Amino acid sequence: MGDAAETRLYVFMLKEHAPPVVNLTLRLCVAFCRDGILFPRMSKRKSKGSYMISAVAEMYGIHPQTLRLYEREGLLKPSRTEGNTRLYTDEDLQRLEFILSLARDLGVNISGMAIILQMRERMEEMQRQIQEFVKYIQDEVLSRASAAADPAKGAIVPVRRTGITPGAPGAPRRR
Q: Is residue 175 one of the residues assigned to a domain?
A: no
74 and 95 in a single domain? The answer is yes
Judged against a pLDDT cut of 50, whether residue 43 lies above it is answered with no
What CA–CA distance (Å, rounded) separates 36 from 98?
16
Q: Is residue 138 one of the residues assigned to a domain?
A: yes
17 and 45 in a single domain? The answer is no
3-state secondary structure 18-46: CCHHHHHHHHHHHHHHHHHCCCCCCCCCC
23 and 68 in a single domain? The answer is no
The percentage of the chain sitting over the pLDDT mark of 70, rounded to a whole number, equals: 56
pLDDT score for 159: 62
35 and 81 in a single domain? The answer is no
Q: Is residue 156 one of the residues assigned to a domain?
A: no
What CA–CA distance (Å, rounded) separates 33 from 39?
7
Query: Going edge to edge, which strands form the sheet with 79-80?
Result: 51-52, 86-88, 79-80
Minimal CA–CA distance to 96: which of 123, 122, 68? Answer: 68
Contact 87, 80 (CB under 8 A): yes
State pLDDT tens for residues 88-140: 999 999 999 999 999 999 999 999 999 999 999 999 999 999 999 999 999 99
Domain containing 46 equals: 41-147
Average pLDDT of the chain? 76
Answer with the residue of higher pLDDT: 41 or 71: 71
Q: Is residue 4 one of the residues assigned to a domain?
A: yes
pLDDT score for 47: 52
10 and 85 in a single domain? The answer is no
How far is C-alpha 115 from the chain's CA centre? 15
Q: Is residue 170 one of the residues assigned to a domain?
A: no
Residue 102: other Cβ atoms inside 10 A: 20
Q: Is residue 158 one of the residues assigned to a domain?
A: no
78 and 143 in a single domain? The answer is yes
Phi-psi region of 120 (alpha: psi -120 to 50; beta: other; left: phi over 0): alpha
Instruction: Work out the average pLDDT over 145-164.
Output: 65
46 and 36 in a single domain? The answer is no
In total, how many domains does the chain have? 2
Q: Is residue 86 one of the residues assigned to a domain?
A: yes
48 and 93 in a single domain? The answer is yes
56 and 132 in a single domain? The answer is yes
50 and 28 in a single domain? The answer is no
Instruction: Work out the average pLDDT over 5-13.
Output: 43
133 and 48 in a single domain? The answer is yes
Judged against a pLDDT cut of 70, whether residue 34 lies above it is answered with no
112 and 47 in a single domain? The answer is yes
Q: What is the pTM of this model?
A: 0.56
